[in-house]
Amino acid sequence: MTTIDTIDKNKVPNHLAIIMDGNGRWAKKHGKIRVFGHENGVKTVKKTVESCAAAGISYLTLYTFSTENWNRPKFEIDTLMRLLVSSLKKELATFMENNIALNAIGDLDSLPQKARKELQEVIQKTSKNTGLTLTLALSYGAREEIKNAIQAISTKVKNNIISVENIDETIINNHLYTHNLPDVDLLIRTSGEHRISNFLLWQIAYAELYFTDVLWPDFTEQHLVEAILNYQNRERRFGKTSEQLI
């Protein structure tokens, strides 16, 4: 079995992002309603976070709820928000034990009050942890993030804080939700869908993409290790030639 110990700890992705997809189909496959899939997906989140911390990954960002997911049936949205609150309460101890700092990105103001309060509390209590930074993308949409950045920069231009000529990639980066996170190195999507679904459009410009047919509740440490090993065998050229990299 391929375990975390088989990976080269010096070459793990600095920032791993995951589109955790397939909970609904997993539930259907087991003859259950969709939310059963979300309940089991939460177990995979816990295991994956622990494995990433053990692997020495510095940043893990999980696509947890998209701006488009607000269009789902109310019962499903309510269940997802309830699961978020109960998981945060339950996992604070796990975060402290594993030196994990919690972070959140997205339109957090649109979350139910209970979820906002719990998030705030766990973020604050884990803020001194220096290991893995775990970022939950909640009510997150990359286009909205970019729109917000453009509005914020435009306001600064209007107020003579920034001049148009000085707008560069660093300034744009600094106005995104992810301003304190590095670019994504590896993006994993489960469930066999080959799309980005409005996730981190700016930040994945040079990420390595990895798609697996495994449904999120079935995603194990072994699948994670396979993805990391695959990543470690890729040549990231960033526009250069192979010869230039030697």
Which residue's CB comes closest to ligand IPE? Answer: 24
Q: Check residue 118 for interaction with Mg ion (CB under 5 A).
A: no
Catalytic option among 21, 23, 40, 103: 21
The reply to whether 219 sits near Mg ion by the rule CB under 5 A is no
Choice between 143 and 240, CB closer to ligand IPE: 143
Smaller CB distance to ligand IPE: residue 97 or 213? 213
Query: Which tokens is 210 given?
Result: 């990895």
Close Cβ partners of 143 (under 8 Å, ≥ 6 residues apart): 198, 201
User: x/- string (CB under 5 A) for Mg ion, residues 37-76?
Assistant: ----------------------------------------
- Asked about 69 being catalytic, the answer comes back as yes
Which residue is listed with tokens 């080959």?
194
One residue of 13, 16, 19, 21 binding Mg ion per CB under 5 A: 21
Site for ligand IPE, rule CB under 6 A? 19-25, 63-66, 68-69, 80, 191, 193, 195, 197
In this structure, are residues 202 and 142 in contact, taking their beta carbons and an 8 Å threshold? yes
* Nearer to ligand IPE among residue 4 and residue 80 (C-beta): 80
Nearer to ligand IPE, 31 or 239 (CB): 31
Query: Contact at 8 Å (CB) between 219 and 44?
Result: yes
20 binds, among ligand IPE, Mg ion, none (CB under 5 to 8 A by kind): ligand IPE
Q: Which of 14, 40, 69, 174 is catalytic?
A: 69
- For tokens 């696509």, name the residue: 63
Is 174 noted as a catalytic residue in this protein?
A: no
Query: What is the set of active-site residues?
Result: 21, 69
